[in-house]
Structure 1
């Protein structure tokens, strides 16, 4: 009697099916890892952009006290002057803009993109340092709350906020 060496067709098919299952599982795992990395990187970059934008807004509003005054404050924009020029920080669509000159659409510089279109930039102005009452007139503003709401993924948002004391020197 002759003995045959090798694998049967059923054994080869079983190995191929198991190998295919392992490959598909491995590809899905690597895909999920890559998506997680991309999402984390986007969150990190947007958080950094938001922090830089908030820092710029703080610098601008801090300089108002020594050079000029806030001339308008609403929920989504603030206008101020240095005594000579007019400046604005406002939101249009999903972009926060810094305007030098006081005319929307001219001399605009992007501070931040990927903000929430409905509530991405919020200003709240107060006439006291305790933040208990909203300023009745713009000349009395002593404290400004600034908040940014920005995208960190599909329909996910993160908030950063700060307060700026407007002090007279």
Structure 2
């Protein structure tokens, strides 16, 4: 059975393939612009095992599934002006965790236009299904809000809304 992560990414890659590596998206003013998405090479099992040992936390399986498909990516970035929708590669997630967030128990996994998306490993370890949080990149974790979902649901929603910050709707 394919995971929601794999289905979402495969669908997005298919849309990109059909339209010669561009997505044509409409903005609020009705303008249609070209956007790009870039995926990194997948992470191998050895890299994942080393990462898990390094952080010493239980890591959600749906997030690990993502890393096995793409070691980070940039999504829905404007062809000319770029964008700020980045899911971090494993080495950056590890660096942020070991240098800044170890005592807090969360993994910074994405930067989405001034918002930081984190996995709360403490919540996940307790068996909570909704372990993903979001907050302004300058806020402390106490000010972050729950996204009310896991990684695969967040990624699916983010892709199907064409990179919209749907959590602010």
TM-score higher than 0.5: no
Please give the TM-score of this superposition, normalised by the length of structure 1: 0.24
Q: TM-score, normalised by structure 2?
A: 0.24
Greater Cα radius of gyration, structure 1 or 2:
1
